[in-house]
Amino acid sequence: MMTALFIVAIGVFVYICYVLLKPEKF
C-alpha cells in the first residue's frame, strides 16, 4: 500500500522537524 508508506514517511518527517525545532527536551 503506497498510501500507508506515504503516511509513515510524512509522520517521520514531522517528528524529525518537531525534534529539530524543539531541542529543549534533548
**CB 26 within 8 Å of CB 19:** yes
Burial of 4 (0-12, 13-18, 19+ CB in 10 A): exposed
Determine the pLDDT at residue 2.
87
Determine the pLDDT at residue 25.
61
* Residue ranges for the chain with pLDDT beneath 70: 25-26
Determine the pLDDT at residue 3.
95
Determine the pLDDT at residue 1.
77
Determine the pLDDT at residue 4.
95
Determine the pLDDT at residue 7.
97
**Alpha-carbon gap, residue 17 to 7, rounded angstroms:** 15
Q: Coil, helix or strand for 1?
A: coil
